[in-house]
Structure 1
Amino acid sequence: MNLPIVAIVGRPNVGKSTLFNRLAGERLAIVDDTPGTTRDRLFAESDWNGRRFHIVDTGGIDPTSGSSKSPLSISSKEYIQEIRNQAMAAVQEADAILLLVDAISGITPADLEVTELLRARQLKREGQPWPPILLVVNKADNQKFRENAVEFYQLGLGEPYPISAVHGTGTGDLLDALVATFPNTKDAEDDNSVKIAIVGIPNAGKSSLLNRLVGEDRAIVSSIAGTTRDAVDTPMMFNDIPITLIDTAGIRRRGKVEHGVEQYSVLRSMHAIERCDVALLMIDATKEISAQDTHIAGFIQEAGKSAVVLVNKWDAIEKDTFTIEDFKTNIRRALNFMDYVPIQFISALTGQRVEKVLPLALEVQEERMVRLGTSAFNRILMRAQDAHSPASKTGRILKIYYGTQVRSDPPTFILYVNEPKLAHFTYLRYLENCIRKEYPYTGTPIRLVLKGRG
């Protein structure tokens, strides 16, 4: 499921980072009395009464925009516009907003201007629901300041929530109100469609493929990298099977991610991988397979998701008898940790072999759900050990007593052994290969979990 994103915003030095650390449960943001300490944005996951969500700490929105009246520190003044842009980008992409004000200072002209900025930005979210804004009165450390919080009704944002981010008082009521704004997850839980995410580096042709698959222009297609900024769900039926296609923003390596909305695009793309069943990893045939392609593949594997590699823009490649095999060799070498993944060569622009994409993705999804009987699995283990025994480690040898599959989605097996620490990763890889010889689990990762007996 895609977790809601909650942005903590406000003018400088009202305690945003302190509240962020309080909700995150650990000290992730730098907290200092100097305004402007938080220049970038920090992400963390939080949980309240079983509802998980992401929180984002932002730099202070400074309406004075660098004038002599700016309360920011001298060292941060050169970053004023950047801090403001990042905070407003957070608002644009957030599902809920916590606007912090200061109970000690009362309402300031800066608070009024920040409120107007937020309202103006809400109106620009065309075609999207307005994110709710919760007014949080921080530094209400005693009864007097808590009672004085009523003055913030003047901001026109509804009920103010007096809290102390330092001591944690009042945060329970705030979080109750916050999670109440999140959409009901029952519909998402009842959705039994196959989730297929289209992922890859920017400008690999993801939106073009989406439009080909659904038969209409659902996504904006542009040669400018980064056009798609959000993860967009498109429900459809294919051979009477409900499918949800998830088009995502291109994922760049961390050092290349620019400030602004793009950081949120990457976050939502990662979420798309986490909630999908099958990921279609698109690789640009006109470029060398990059380290970032490998990074995205690694994230898919770590998330336990099935995958299909799509080599796009195949129409733009000059070919001979060996071209496809050479490409496959290079891809297998770069993605050697995912040698079980099928590779398909397509052109989203011309439609070449696009009709094979969804059948292949659904085939991979079926493989993901296969369950092996315990007796069949143990026969595989016995043959594997007879053919190649584990190497000794410090004079001791790993003994596998028996194993069983405990779940699918992805296929997960527990091996009961004498001592889990004696298992070398190369032997576990060997066991995985032995399993795949009998049951390929095409496109799907296999997890082997070792458990000490007794």
Structure 2
Amino acid sequence: MLAAIVGRPNVGKSTLFNRLTGTRQAIVDDESGVTRDRVYGEAEWEGRTIPLVDTGGYVPRSDDPFERAIREQAETALADADVILFVVDVTTGLTDVDQEIAQVLRTADAPVMVLANKADNQEREWAASEFYQLGLGEVYPVSGTTKRGVDEMMSALVEALPEETDEETPDRTRISLVGKPNAGKSSLVNATLGFDRAIVTETPGTTRDAVHSVVRYEDQELLLIDTAGMRKTSKTEGVEYYASVRSEQTIRDGDVCILVLDATEEIHKQDLSVLTTVNEHKKGMVIAVNKWDLVPKDGGTMDQFTKYLRQYLGTLDHVPLVYTSAVTKQRVYDLLDTALEVAEKRAQRVQTSDLNDVVQAALRKKHPPSMSSGAFVKIKYATQVRTAPPVFVFFANHPEGVRDSYKRYLEGEIREAFGYDGVPLTLVFKEK
């Protein structure tokens, strides 16, 4: 389920996105074309969680026809969306660009809602009637700045979305392969399946849509998802832009994400950025160092590479590493085994007594820091309140006095004790 926000530059899409999600994720500026990175969020309304994507306006940087650029963005946006939120600007009125986007949206299977933004007062609300000329149905005057009309629009959006079903989904572990283009994600999927399910070429970015494949492995079903490569967003436009959006959506939907690295290339910041995104979404993490068959080796090559990679990962140095080759199928099934182990650990529940044994031992080794006032921080006990992803709540007399460095220390102790390698943990501190 997805609602995509589309429209020409500078109509206030990012402001509206921030209003709907209750965040300040999207950059807001008077200069057109500021939003070029993918921005993903969720809106909560009437008990529904609605994923939103702010697509940003397109700013031409070449002599390519503007019409082609608009059509490319609009067509790829509506390919995944269940509802299209077409944002226009009442202060400038109906433009030729609005008409061009509307022409493409008329072919969409998903319903289109026209949001006449910047309708900050009653006079501007009346002006919104001009946009009925687009022929896309109901027009909703809204203001992303003041929230005027947003409640009515959100109620209509919930009605337009598909009904949520209670049908049981197959009990499959979802494994997503993510990373830069041409790192070998599709080749690894094909090596696992034994046939060419995904198109494999030497051209970066061949896979623009997520390819889902079900495989039976060790008496259970796995869903392998080969995502489009996640490029540096400063160079991402059009189809590649939406490929990146789909990649992030796949991260959100998966249980474990395998970051595929090309062993023949230098590790880039973009690789770490992808892994950071996976960590932020609290998904299981595994790193596949692919094309290992092409690396010249001596007795300590793998150990040296592992040491280098662990240092580069920083606080994410607990993520399991598997050295693979899609061509020779070297350790391909070890990679699946590792991903399944991470998924199992991500879903495990730790007994409260066992957890507190570890916490108390950690407290004896390293006492919590005192408050600036001189009062001692005392952590009473901890309990796990959620699995997949794991969330632990700690009760203390002064929870605000537990510093980030000490939280990381406790996280490390829990990770080591219960085998949470590759699993993001959430530690919450409350007053007791």
TM-score by length of 2: 0.81
Which of 308, 313, 325 matches 2:291? 313
Task: State the SS of the aligned residue for 1:163.
Answer: strand
Q: Show CA shifts across 1:32-61 (max 9, x none).
A: 7xxx94575574633443241314355489
1:278-427 aligned at under 5 Å gives the runs 278-394=256-372, 395-427=374-406
| Greater mean alpha carbon deviation, residues 47-56 or residues 203-212 | 47-56
Indicate the residue corresponding to 2:84 in structure 1.
97
Corresponding position of 1:88? 72
The higher radius of gyration belongs to 1
In structure 2, distance between residues paired with 1:410 and 1:239: 24
Q: CA RMSD in A?
A: 3.9
Aligned pair 1:444/2:431, yes or no?
no
Q: Against the structure 1 CA distance between its residues 332 and 145, is the aligned structure 2 distance closer, same or farther, given a 3 Å change threshold?
A: closer
C-alpha separation between the residues in 1 aligned to 2:255 and 2:236?
29
Task: For 2:205, give the aligned amino acid.
Answer: G
Q: CA deviation at 1:435?
A: 2.8
Deviations, residues 2-37 of structure 1 (Å, cap 9, x unaligned): x51423336x898867866765668967687xxx94
Counterpart check, 1:243 vs 2:241: no
Residue 313 of structure 1 deviates from its aligned partner by: 0.2
Inter-CA distance 229–180: structure 2 relative to 1 (3 Å threshold): farther
Alpha-carbon shift at residue 350 of structure 1 (Å): 2.3
Note closer, same or farther for the CA distance 1:212–1:422 as it changes in structure 2 (3 Å cut).
Answer: same
- Deviation of 1:358 after TM superposition, in Å, equals 1.6
Going from structure 1 to structure 2, the CA distance change for 1:423 and 1:259 (only over 3 Å counts) comes to same
Residue identity in the other structure for 2:293: D
CA 1:210/1:430 → structure 2, altered by over 3 Å: closer, same or farther? same
**In structure 1, what residue type is equivalent to 2:396?**
V
CA distance in 2, matches of 1:327, 1:296: 20
Task: Point out the more displaced range, 302-311 or 47-56.
Answer: 47-56
Q: Which runs of 5+ in 1 are unaligned?
A: 62-75, 123-129
Q: Evaluate the alpha carbon distance shift between residue 400 and residue 220 of structure 1 in structure 2; reply closer, same or farther with a 3 A threshold.
A: same
Aligned residues of 2:177 and 2:225 also touching (Cα < 8 A): yes
| Cα pair 1:396 1:422 within 8 Å, conserved | no
1:161 is aligned to 138
* CA 388–186 in structure 1, closer or farther in 2 if over 3 Å, else same: same
User: Deviation of residue 342 (structure 1)?
Assistant: 1.7
Q: Distance in 1 between matches of 2:23 and 2:423?
A: 35
What is the aligned-residue identity percentage? 36
Could you tell me how far apart the structure 2 residues matched to 1:108 and 1:320 are?
Answer: 65
Distance 1:402 1:318 in 2: 51
The superposition leaves residues 305-336 of structure 1 with CA deviations (integer Å, 9 ceiling, x where unpaired) of 21111110011111111111111111111123
Shift of 1:85: 1.0
Name the CA shift for 1:318/1:48 in 2 (closer, same or farther; >3 Å).
Answer: same
What CA deviation, in whole Å up to 9, does each residue of 1:144-198 have, x standing for no partner?
9699779748x4x5xx213323487776665455444434443687443211111
2:183: which partner in 1? 204
Q: State the distance in 2 between where 1:202 and 1:252 align.
A: 7
Q: Distance in 2 between matches of 1:391 and 1:148?
A: 62
Query: Which amino acid in 2 is paired with 1:443?
Result: G
Counterpart selection for 1:430 from 392, 409, 424? 409
Check whether the contact 1:162–1:170 (CA below 8 A) recurs between aligned residues.
Answer: no
Residues 70, 101 of structure 2: 8 Å contact kept:
no
Aligned ranges 1:48-63 → 2 under 5 Å: 48-49=45-46, 50-56=48-54, 58-59=56-57
What is the TM-score normalised by the length of structure 1? Answer: 0.77
Aligned residues: 420
Distance 2:196 2:296 in 1: 29
